[in-house]
Amino acid sequence: MCHRKFLPTSANRDLPFDDGPPPCQEGKMRWLLLALLFGSLIALPADARPLHPYVGKWYSDDATVCGGTPNETEGLLTYTAREFLGIDNRCRITRVARRGDFFELALRCSGEGEAYNATERVRVVDGTLHRSVREGRKWWKYTYRRCATR
């Protein structure tokens, strides 16, 4: 709400003098505060909280596979925002659903001349990828470590 400030002059000597904020400054201050708040949120680093923490290269036993080519190197898994690449198979991620502390991925895959659908659940904790792969009614669990970035 804007305040009017009355200065005592000969014409308005009997009107009150308001020591509140200058006229219309409250609205400006509110907008300034909101701009600072939302501006600081937008300015967060992109990697502060990744949208899909599983994106990257992962290995199970031997970190030297991290230098290999995705889709060609045994022991190397690669997730992008849209694909999963393993040895001799490539999957398009068709759906990602957040389920508590893990992500469920619906995949459309091709490998070794076959096309198939797959479901995976992935969770990242302290640089470790916990991956559950569904085959029929059974879930197989695997653990991988993140490849170092260069």
48-100 pLDDT per residue, tens: 455 899 999 999 999 999 999 998 999 999 999 999 999 989 999 999 999 99
Q: What angle do CA 23, 26, 28 make, to 5 degrees?
A: 95
The pLDDT tens digits of the residues spanning 119-128 come to 999 999 999 9
Percent of the chain with pLDDT over 90: 57
pLDDT at 12 over 80: no
Q: Is 9 left (phi over 0), alpha (psi -120 to 50) or beta?
A: beta
Secondary structure (DSSP) of 5-47: -PPP-SSSTTSPPP-SSSTTHHHHHHHHHHHHHHHHHHTS-TT
Band (135; pLDDT cuts 50, 70, 90)? confident
Average pLDDT over residues 99-115: 94
